[in-house]
Amino acid sequence: MGMEPRVKREIAPKIGKLYAHAALEIAKEYGAVPQWAEKLEVLAEVVKMDDIQKILRDSRLAPADLKEIMKPVCDKLELDDLQRDFVNHLIGEKKLSYMPWIFSSYVRQRKAMQGEVDITLTSAFPMDVETSDMLIRHVRDKFNIVAGATKVDVDPALIGGLIIKVGDRVIDQSTRGYIERKRNAPRR
């Protein structure tokens, strides 16, 4: 009947990214990007609550029932009509459980829209400051990044090379990544 399936953690970031993109486009069109961020943040916390999780998993409830149950929550949060439509759409698609991923992706996409993207460099061996700074400058130039947090990690399991994470995007130039890609490549 109406029960939402359990969140599939392996696809949750992708689903979050898709719905966050839609929310951000709507928010931009109506000049309400910060307001949407606030509402999505609270909704993400509400959806994590045990009572709400039980309701979302109740197979006896149809989407129309869930919409009625969420109506007082929407009222309390003072959601506008577009935000309510968004919540109701998520309920209809059985995706309300993905709200935490939608919110976190919304925040990342909003930062990216403003030129603020986090960068993480992970190498197999420690890098000197000069090299890491040069790489970070190169990544910022290539992706038109104005600001954002930067982090440099070491992971000896990479064997060699580097993994560059730019927001949601991962560029794997590590030896381990190369071996895994070769191993998973279709045989000819």
96 and 139 co-located in one domain: no
108 and 20 co-located in one domain: yes
pLDDT at 3: 57
In a domain, 6, yes or no: no
In a domain, 2, yes or no: no
103 and 129 co-located in one domain: no
95 and 172 co-located in one domain: no
Interval 104-161: pLDDT, tens: 999 989 988 888 888 999 999 999 999 999 999 999 999 888 888 899 999 999 999 9
Domain interval for residue 82: 12-112
In a domain, 4, yes or no: no
Handedness of CA 70, 75, 78, 82 (dihedral sign): positive
Tell me how many domains the chain contains: 2
Q: Which two tokens stand for residue 137?
A: 């400058």
37 and 89 co-located in one domain: yes
131 and 42 co-located in one domain: no
100 and 128 co-located in one domain: no
In a domain, 73, yes or no: yes
24 and 108 co-located in one domain: yes
pLDDT at 169: 85
Query: Which of 95, 112, 129 is the last residue before a domain boundary?
Result: 112
Residue 8 has pLDDT above 80, yes or no: no
68 and 86 co-located in one domain: yes
- Residues 76, 78, 79, 81: what is their CA dihedral angle, to the nearest 10 degrees? 120
135 and 103 co-located in one domain: no
Residue 2 has pLDDT above 80, yes or no: no
Interval 18-74: pLDDT, tens: 999 999 999 999 999 999 999 999 999 999 999 998 998 888 889 999 999 999 999
More confident residue, 18 or 188: 18
86 and 131 co-located in one domain: no
Residue 168 has pLDDT above 90, yes or no: no
Query: Which of 112, 131, 156 is the last residue before a domain boundary?
Result: 112
Which residues, in sequence order, are CB contacts of 121 under 8 Å at separation 6+? 127, 132, 135, 136, 150, 151, 152, 153, 162, 163, 164, 165
Query: Which of 112, 135, 155 is the last residue before a domain boundary?
Result: 112
> What CATH number does the domain containing 25 carry?
1.10.520.20
Interval 178-183 mean pLDDT? 90
pLDDT at 5: 61
pLDDT at 116: 84
102 and 132 co-located in one domain: no
Handedness of CA 19, 25, 26, 27 (dihedral sign): positive
pLDDT at 115: 80
